[in-house]
Amino acid sequence: MRVLPLGGIGEIGKNMTILEYEDKLLIVDVGLRFPTAEMVGIDLVLPDFSYLRGRVDDIEGIVITHGHEDHLGALPWVLRELRAEGAELPPIFGAPLTMAMARSKLDEHRLKDLDVEDVKAGEHLELGPFDVELIHMTHSIPDAVAVAVTTDVGTVLITGDYKFDQTPVDGKPADIARLAQLGADGLLLLCGDSTNADRPGFSPSESGVGPHLEQTFARCEGRIVVTCFASNIHRVQQVVDAAEQLGRKVALLGRSMRKNVNIGKSLGHIDVPDGMLVQPREIDSFPDEKLVIVSTGSQGEPLSALRRMAFSDHPQVELRRGDTIVFAATPIPGNERAVNETIDRLFHIGTTVITARDAPIHASGHGYAEELKLMLNLTKPTYVMPFHGDYKRLELHGKLAEAVGVPAENIFKGENGLPLELNAKGARFGKPERAGMVFVDGVEIGDVADVALRDRRMLSADGIFVVVATISEQDGTSVAEPEVIFRGVPFPDEAENLLDDIRDTVDKSLARAAKEGVHENDVVQGMLHDDLAQLVYERLRRRPMVLPVVVEV
């Protein structure tokens, strides 16, 4: 059996794992992550799933551990690309809330006639050579599960995201008994969440957030805006409960927030009293002291409701002095800059900002170090492969496994595309497969290569020169003064004669090309590019993009 991670190793996000046995494939999670600041113009980052191309018929199923974007978000993109191959798409399985979110995403992408099946925790699926069991876990979203996959070789447990919350909001703690039974029966491999491997002790319970939210709200005199993950339905429930205790109405802002709350209500995961919710267009009709707004944007996402409010660009809400903004979430590693920019804008407006540093209004959905040890001790795996974390956290997770008695040689700290091969003789890393990032720009999947990104960075840093040269079709000599267009190029005063020098350089390059008998357009453009780039760098000490265009007449 092979366990091939295509995402989630050495990074936080875009989790995707392929299990392979007897030439059949099982996919666990199909996640995405959001772009970093240097990924100019990119909207989403997906795992490179080239490994699946041409093998759609071998896929027995796709199992999703929970409804967060880093485990579910890439599903429509992957299915759309695989459908283009003409093969029948595999069935998709997960707990009811997760599958409701999956159906919503697939509908948005107009992907119809797919087999999306609800599976309750504790149920087994027979998918080709794979026996698959979903095990209930606690996380910051309901219906989170771990996935136990059994073949003739043994059992692999992919934990998904989890914590051992003994007092969860919905009263359903993780199925510790089943995890312990897996350990007693003999677990071959544990692929465990490493997100909080660097935090000692136990994570605080989600149920402890509610009273602190109510205490925080009680001190606020004006409007309250709470921002959290749209999928954190338990947190929204606690905001609703606190608002009800203080006689405030609740408005939901952000398409994903409204959509997820509606899904949660329909499945019984959230209870909102009749008349409690206020439509966004009615916000100005209520006194400030009678309103709580629940908004997307806790991670500083560019188009989120809170970000737009912070930059005075929201159609329904204009923030003002006296409002209190409550961040009931902490930044995902890599999002700190965007979150800080949003907070700074909120202070500029004059609002009061309360974060998890100021009050215990957030509890992580990922277990701390002692909970990772508890998972290891319950399941007693022969081998451990830390998942879902940057390399620092993977290393720390490996140290925790050693601390509870797993031999160092049985701990495999891998990377995306590096398969772990398991058989009766033991475990070892196999030959690396292609893995990396696929960019989504707008609604289309881009090339895996980052040529376009490199060009965008160059344009954003130093601008662009466009030089249009008109030459004779007969002898290649210049027949008109070159036209020079530049955008985004910082022009110092001492470079005022640069345009004349550029035109002179174009004439000299064209004359040299004609003398050497060079007539191919692409070769002439290459010569122009090299000569102009050298001139511009000598004069400006910058490297803008130089784009020569040669027109024959």
549 has which bridge partners? 468
Sign of torsion over alpha carbons 213, 218, 219, 224 = positive
Instruction: Choose the catalytic residue: 71, 366, 388, 397.
Output: 366
Q: Is 68 a catalytic residue?
A: no
Task: Choose among 102, 91, 97, 162: nearest CA to 125.
Answer: 91
Task: Choose among 177, 193, 184: nearest CA to 381.
Answer: 184
Instruction: Choose the catalytic residue: 143, 165, 175, 193.
Output: 193
Residue 525, C-beta contacts closer than 8 angstroms, at least 6 positions apart = 548, 549, 550
Given 3-state DSSP classes, what are the helix, strand and coil percentages for the chain, each rounded to the nearest 5? Answer: 35, 25, 40
* One-letter-per-residue 3-state SS of 29-66: EECCECCCCCCCCCCEEEECCHHHCCCHHHEEEEECCC
Residue 80: Cβ-neighbour burial (10 angstroms; 0-12, 13-18, 19+): middle
Rounded CA-CA distance 401/184 in Å is 18
- State residue 398 phi and psi, 5-degree precision: -60, -40
H or E segment to which residue 131 belongs: strand 130-136
Q: Is 193 a catalytic residue?
A: yes
Sign of torsion over alpha carbons 183, 188, 194, 199 = positive
Within its chain, how far is the Cα of 475 from the centroid? 55
2 has which bridge partners? 20, 421
* Strands laid side by side in the 383-387 sheet: 124-127, 130-136, 145-150, 155-158, 189-193, 383-387
Q: How many residues does the chain have?
A: 553
Rounded CA-CA distance 15/8 in Å is 4
Catalytic machinery residues? 193, 366
